[in-house]
Amino acid sequence: MIKQAIIPLAGLGTRLLPLTSVFPKELLPINGKPGIEYILDECIDAGVKEIIFIISKKKEMIRKYFNNDNFYKSIIKKKKDPRIIKEYKKILFYKKKIKYVYQNKPLGTGDAVLKTKKLIKNNYFLMLLPDDLIMKKNCSKDMVKIHKKYKASVMASMKVKKNNVDRWGIYSINKNYDKSNFKISDVIEKPNAEDAPSNNAVIGRYILPKKIFNYLKNQKKGKGNEIHITDAIRRMILDKNLFIGHKFKGNYLDCGSMNGYINSGIEISKI
Ligand code: UTP
């Protein structure tokens, strides 16, 4: 069973500057609701009981958002507004499930994941990247089903434009199990268009094995001088660990770039 999820939130969010110079991007509203709440709803609906946030001292505001009880209590006492009471109950519901670890230097996603090592209890856990929203169909829930069927690691996949492959992790496919799921034979972080083995990209949903921490402990820096989770996954695949690519059915929205962020609000307002 997948009972725990981790969410890396310790990045700098430079593509959304100036919005992110003082404000964490994950709290920016998307159609009236902070982006992080869409991610929380997805993983709770997929059966996750505990969510580990990887934050940094610079992103304490995220912790404050879920731990602002005195403020809510004093407002509710004065106003007794049913809308505020409902919102506070929702925050309390999330709060009970969230734990925090710190990554104060953004050395890369691989380093962020390693910070959760002591808290992971079961053999597999879910990871969601909050820049990647997937609407209309719960991608995490579908990936949990695939994980149960194959007892393997699972990663979300989507076709991207061939001239855009250098923005993503890109898969080599070994064989197709069916029209939505394939066996991954390799994954390369941000390849040049000419080196890319396909245009099937890694999207920010992963079911990872606890064993990955052994690989992350000695993972060397890769592209952009960062420690990438993709590079550790690549070593696991080359060591014959089964990783399955899942072509998800929902609508993908990239909230990490300015155009993507603006568009996400528009698209979600139409749902
Ligand atoms: P990105 O590198 O795509 O986003 O990280 P970023 O660093 O936040 O933003 P830009 O690129 O400067 O605009 C993907 C996810 O991994 C987290 C980020 O918070 C984001 O959710 N991350 C990244 C970490 O937690 N730690 C890191 O060292 C790097």
Closest CA to 253 of 141, 144, 136: 136
> Looking at ligand 1, which atom is closest to the CA of residue 56?
25
Burial of 90: CB neighbours in 10 Å, binned 0-12, 13-18, 19+: middle
Cβ–ligand 1 contact at 20 (below 6 Å): no
Question: What pLDDT sits at residue 1?
Answer: 87
Cβ–ligand 1 contact at 12 (below 6 Å): yes
Alpha helices per DSSP H over 30-81: 35-45, 60-66, 69-79
Cα(9) to centroid of ligand 1, in Å? 7
Cα(140) to centroid of ligand 1, in Å? 20
Task: Report the C-alpha gap between 165 and 101 in whole angstroms.
Answer: 32
Question: What pLDDT sits at residue 138?
Answer: 98
Closest CA to 53 of 88, 94, 15, 87: 94
The verdict on pTM exceeding 0.85 is: yes
Task: Report the C-alpha gap between 21 and 229 in whole angstroms.
Answer: 26
Q: Ligand 1 test: best mutation among 105, 109, 111, most atoms within 8 Å of CB?
A: 109
Q: How far from chain centre, in Å, is Cα 112?
A: 12
User: Which tens digit of pLDDT belongs to each residue from 204-243?
Assistant: 999 999 999 999 999 999 999 999 999 999 999 999 999 9
Closest CA to 187 of 211, 164, 203, 176: 203
Domain ranges of the chain: 4-270
Cα(71) to centroid of ligand 1, in Å? 30
Q: What percent of the chain has pLDDT over 90?
A: 99
Structural fold of domain 4-270: Spore Coat Polysaccharide Biosynthesis Protein SpsA; Chain A (3.90.550)
Question: What pLDDT sits at residue 74?
Answer: 97
Q: What percent of the chain has pLDDT over 70?
A: 100
